[in-house]
Amino acid sequence: MHFTALIMDNIVNIGNSIAKRRKFLKLTQPQLAELAGISLRSLKSIESGEGNPTLTQIMKILNILGMKLDIIVR
């Protein structure tokens, strides 16, 4: 698999995991976006796997949701 494809697959997986955990915790997208200090548009693009999030944004969201990056990327 090409490196870019591998990265994109992981971004999609991370986005899916974030959305599932957010829903499990009964948080809305606007609530999580506010807690993370990012725009709603950014969060929606991260959850859909279409965005180009920074590592800081991802780590902030995962921390709020009580998740770890190493669990998701595997």
Q: In this structure, what token pair is assigned to residue 74?
A: 């595997």
Q: What is the pTM of this model?
A: 0.82
Question: Which amino acid, one-letter code, is at 18?
Answer: I
Q: In this structure, what token pair is assigned to residue 39?
A: 């725009």
What is the rounded CA–CA span in Å between residue 22 and residue 1?
30
CATH code of 31's domain: 1.10.260.40
Please give the residue range of the domain that contains residue 32: 3-73
pLDDT at 2 over 60: no
pLDDT digits (tens, 9 = 90+) for 9-25: 678 888 999 999 999 99
Which residues fall within 8 angstroms of residue 52, CB to CB, at 6 or more apart? 45
Tokens 């494809």, located at residue: 5
Residue 25: name the closest of 66, 63, 68 by CA.
66
